[in-house]
Amino acid sequence: MKKIQNNLHYFEISKNNQEKLLDNFYVFDEKHPDLNKYIKNTKEIKNLLITIRTLQSKKEKSAVIDKYFLELSKIIGKYSNCSEFACFVNACDNIINEAKNEMNLLKKITEKYFTKRVLNEIVPEEWVQAILDANSSRKKGKCGENKLIHILEKRGFKEVFDWDDFLKADYCVVKFSKKFSLKNVRKNLDVKIKTKKQNKTLDLIIKAKSETLLCEAKHLNTSGGGQDKQISELIEILGLTEKNGVSYISFLDGKYSNILLSDSGHGDKITTQRKEIKKFLNNNPDNYWVNTAGFTSLISDLK
């Protein structure tokens, strides 16, 4: 094992090595594997809507029209959220599953759709893929964890999945999970993890022989209310301490990390965040605030 440097050393490495503008761990540039299923379902929805509107214009009996509304409710499902109709349901302050299961609601929204939107048979592939692309941010939840595990594995750490393997291994990493629940981690590692949010779990537990590090990973590209909350959580973790020398890692990547780690500018809020990070790094020398470069350097020195 190399000599571990103080936490400001890894913080400076992070400052001097900004995040990439495009990080492949967070890029989803391939066509969706179920694209054809989304297109097929969108066409089915459109065809039924056209049929319902045609029957209504011909003053067909309600019982007949209701059969097609029933068919519409049946085909709305897993692959429907990229149809224009599903997007319109969202615009009507509802979700597609609610409209599917509530016939009166489905009828009311359909009537609004006929009045407010253009209905045609065309389903461009690129249009459906564009909606799937717009929703790709939902896939990023575990990308940060997977990225850090990838870095760890390249440096000889093994991902394990139960306590026996964790306790036996010299260099390993685990994700918080049912087996590695907050309760079990507190008991088996003799730690408090005393965050303001009582039952908040972190992301990873890293073991390097006698060293144990608890890591929270976040990926942020923009600032705002939700992002400010996540930065506050990372800063809070930086302020945690354990009697048995367990360390905490606050990991942040993405474009917002570059802004936060710069020396000046970007307003009072970010200036305050920078001051808090520096304060906790000075007060808690066993804890670390790192980006990708800082994390990689720290892990390399642990091995």
User: Does residue 158 sit in the same domain as residue 17?
Assistant: yes
Decide if 173 contacts 295 (C-beta within 8 A): no
Q: How far is CA 168 from CA 4, 31, 158, 207, 208, in A?
A: 23, 42, 12, 10, 11
Q: Which two tokens stand for residue 39?
A: 């297109």
User: Does residue 128 sit in the same domain as residue 171?
Assistant: no
- 3-state class (DSSP) for residue 77: coil
Question: Which among 134, 152, 183 is the end of a domain?
Answer: 134
Rounded distance between C-alpha atoms, residue 1 and residue 138, angstroms: 38
User: Does residue 167 sit in the same domain as residue 242?
Assistant: yes
DSSP string, 149-216: HHHHHHTT-EE--SHHHHHH-SEEEEE--STT-HHHHHHHHT-----SSTT---SEEEEETTEEEEEE
Q: What is the Cβ-side half-sphere exposure of residue 234, based on CA atoms within 13 angstroms? A: 27
Predicted local distance difference test score (pLDDT) of residue 257: 95
Question: Which among 86, 105, 134 is the end of a domain?
Answer: 134
Q: Which of 208, 217, 144, 148 is nearest to 172 (CA)?
A: 208
User: Does residue 75 sit in the same domain as residue 224?
Assistant: no
Residue 225 reports pLDDT greater than 70: no
Which range of residues forms the domain containing residue 58? 35-134
Decide if 299 contacts 151 (C-beta within 8 A): yes
Residue 2 covered by a domain: no
Question: Which among 109, 134, 159 is the end of a domain?
Answer: 134
Q: Which of 4, 1, 7 is nearest to 290 (CA)?
A: 7
Residue 55 covered by a domain: yes
Residue with tokens 């972190």: 202
User: Does residue 273 sit in the same domain as residue 175?
Assistant: yes
Identify the band that residue 224 occupies on the pLDDT scale cut at 50, 70 and 90. Answer: low
What are all long-range contacts of 219-225, with beta carbons under 8 Å and residues at least 24 apart? 219/26, 219/140, 219/143, 219/144, 219/252, 219/253, 219/254, 220/252, 220/254, 220/255, 220/256, 220/257, 221/254, 221/255, 221/256, 222/255, 222/256, 223/256, 223/259, 223/269, 223/270
pLDDT tens per residue, range 71-116: 999 999 999 999 999 999 999 999 999 999 999 999 999 999 999 9
User: Does residue 212 sit in the same domain as residue 257?
Assistant: yes
- The pTM score is 0.85
User: Does residue 12 sit in the same domain as residue 161?
Assistant: yes
Q: Which two tokens stand for residue 29?
A: 């540039």
- Return the number of other C-beta atoms located less than 10 Å from residue 264's C-beta: 7
Residue 206 covered by a domain: yes
Predicted local distance difference test score (pLDDT) of residue 207: 97
Predicted local distance difference test score (pLDDT) of residue 89: 97
Task: Produce one character per residue of 185-195: b if its CB has 16 or more CB atoms within 10 Å, e if not.
Answer: beeebebebeb
How far, rounded to the nearest angstrom, does the alpha carbon of residue 81 sit from its chain's CA centroid?
19
Decide if 39 contacts 84 (C-beta within 8 A): no
pLDDT tens per residue, range 160-212: 999 999 999 999 999 999 999 999 999 999 999 999 887 889 999 999 999 99
Phi/psi-derived region of residue 254, left when phi > 0, alpha when psi is between -120 and 50, beta in every other case: left
User: Does residue 168 sit in the same domain as residue 193?
Assistant: yes
Name residues whose C-beta falls within 8 Å of residue 199's C-beta, 6 or more positions apart in sequence. 182
Residue 113 covered by a domain: yes
Query: How many domains are contained in the chain?
Result: 2
Predicted local distance difference test score (pLDDT) of residue 102: 97
User: Does residue 146 sit in the same domain as residue 85?
Assistant: no
Residue 69 covered by a domain: yes
Q: Which residues pair with 197 in a beta bridge?
A: none
Q: Calculate mean pLDDT across residues 48-64.
A: 97
Q: Which of 216, 259, 258 is nearest to 235 (CA)?
A: 216
